[in-house]
């Protein structure tokens, strides 16, 4: 059996007397697009914060790329290849798309930030940064300040910055949030092209995008994994329908 790239073992997170993550065990396999869905308040953000290292679990263990990273911080996990997109960092609005992405390359290599030198002018940083922009379809916007990009283009830029980190795995935290239909379709196409290169954990409320992209889906309800299965298994599961999907299935089946 293939070893998982990410494994959560009996993960729990309590805030005082409130248990937000309740005994979550989950594997993400190499090359897999794994979606995490659930209603607002299900604990998805808290779980993602624990995976990325922003929050420490109350109990349980987190393994990434063969290492126990339960107590490692976000920077250490990023250096091991865990990149969180869409909240990985704040886009610098005065810097161009190329410069923002070059800074991500610079961070991955562990070199100091030399903003006064404009990272995007250095060939060693510029070339991989431009390659990442090409992958997300932003090459024509490389020299545009981030402040002038549309909301969907900023989402794509954040994905390019994550790719520039040379990830072993991507955490995609609601990439479609706030995007219009055309921008959503563009992001879905980009993610579909990236499928198989490395594993991705997708947290998303757009069910049409989830069912179009995911290899497997885990459903989180009240901090617990209700089930994990293929899109077809999730779509037909009566408890999932009752707890979350409901009328949205009409759009998915259409």
Instruction: Give the CATH number for residue 75.
Output: 3.40.50.300
CA atoms within 13 A on the CB side of 206: 20
User: Within this chain, do residues 174 and 154 fall inside the same structural domain, yes or no?
Assistant: no
The confidence score (pLDDT) of residue 112 equals 47
Total domains in the chain come to: 2
User: Within this chain, do residues 178 and 225 fall inside the same structural domain, yes or no?
Assistant: yes
The confidence score (pLDDT) of residue 165 equals 86
The confidence score (pLDDT) of residue 75 equals 86
Residue 218's alpha-carbon distances to 36, 42, 201, in angstroms, are 5, 12, 10
User: Within this chain, do residues 231 and 196 fall inside the same structural domain, yes or no?
Assistant: yes
- Identify the domain containing residue 57 by its residue range: 1-87+168-254
User: Within this chain, do residues 131 and 229 fall inside the same structural domain, yes or no?
Assistant: no
Considering the entire predicted model, what is its pTM? 0.88
The confidence score (pLDDT) of residue 175 equals 87
Report yes or no: 145 and 94 within 8 Å, Cβ to Cβ.
Answer: yes
Chosen domain end from 136, 164, 192? 164
Instruction: Give me the residue label for tokens 């990272």.
Output: 119
User: Within this chain, do residues 57 and 173 fall inside the same structural domain, yes or no?
Assistant: yes
Exposed / middle / buried, residue 182 (Cβ in 10 Å: 0-12, 13-18, 19+): exposed
- Closest among 242, 237, 200 to 83, alpha carbons compared: 200
Chosen domain end from 164, 189, 205? 164
User: Within this chain, do residues 196 and 71 fall inside the same structural domain, yes or no?
Assistant: yes
User: Within this chain, do residues 2 and 110 fall inside the same structural domain, yes or no?
Assistant: no
The confidence score (pLDDT) of residue 241 equals 83
The confidence score (pLDDT) of residue 115 equals 47
User: Within this chain, do residues 156 and 173 fall inside the same structural domain, yes or no?
Assistant: no
Q: Could you say which residues of the chain have pLDDT below 70?
A: 1, 86-90, 109-121, 245-254
The confidence score (pLDDT) of residue 1 equals 60
Report yes or no: 161 and 119 within 8 Å, Cβ to Cβ.
Answer: no
User: Within this chain, do residues 101 and 36 fall inside the same structural domain, yes or no?
Assistant: no
User: Within this chain, do residues 26 and 149 fall inside the same structural domain, yes or no?
Assistant: no
Q: Return d(Cα 185, Cα 188) in angstroms, integer.
A: 5
Q: Return d(Cα 20, Cα 45) in angstroms, integer.
A: 10
User: Within this chain, do residues 53 and 174 fall inside the same structural domain, yes or no?
Assistant: yes
Chosen domain end from 164, 195, 215? 164
User: Within this chain, do residues 73 and 112 fall inside the same structural domain, yes or no?
Assistant: no
The confidence score (pLDDT) of residue 178 equals 82
């Amino acid at each position: 059996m293939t070893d998982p790239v990410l494994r959560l073992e009996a993960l729990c997170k309590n805030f005082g007397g409130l248990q937000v993550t309740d005994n979550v065990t989950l594997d993400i396999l190499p090359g897999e697009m794994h979606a995490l869905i659930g209603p607002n308040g299900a604990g998805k953000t808290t779980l993602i914060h624990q995976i990325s290292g922003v929050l420490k679990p109350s109990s349980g263990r987190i393994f990434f790329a063969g290492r126990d990273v339960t107590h490692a911080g976000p920077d250490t996990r990023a250096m091991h290849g865990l990149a969180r997109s869409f909240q990985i960092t704040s886009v610098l609005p005065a810097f161009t798309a190329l410069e923002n992405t070059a800074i991500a390359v610079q961070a991955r290599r562990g070199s100091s930030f030399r903003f006064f030198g404009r990272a995007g002018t250095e060939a060693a940083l510029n070339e991989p940064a431009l390659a990442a922009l090409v992958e997300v379809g932003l090459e024509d916007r490389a020299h545009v300040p981030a402040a002038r990009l549309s909301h969907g283009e900023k989402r794509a830029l954040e994905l390019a910055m994550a790719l520039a980190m040379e990830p072993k795995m991507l955490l995609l935290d609601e990439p479609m949030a706030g995007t219009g239909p055309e921008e959503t379709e563009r992001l879905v196409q980009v993610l579909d092209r990236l499928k198989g290169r490395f594993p991705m954990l997708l947290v998303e409320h757009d069910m049409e995008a989830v069912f179009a992209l995911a290899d497997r889906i885990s459903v989180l309800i009240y901090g617990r994994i209700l089930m994990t299965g293929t899109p077809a298994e999730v779509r037909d599961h009566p408890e999932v329908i009752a707890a979350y999907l409901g009328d949205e299935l009409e759009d998915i089946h259409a």
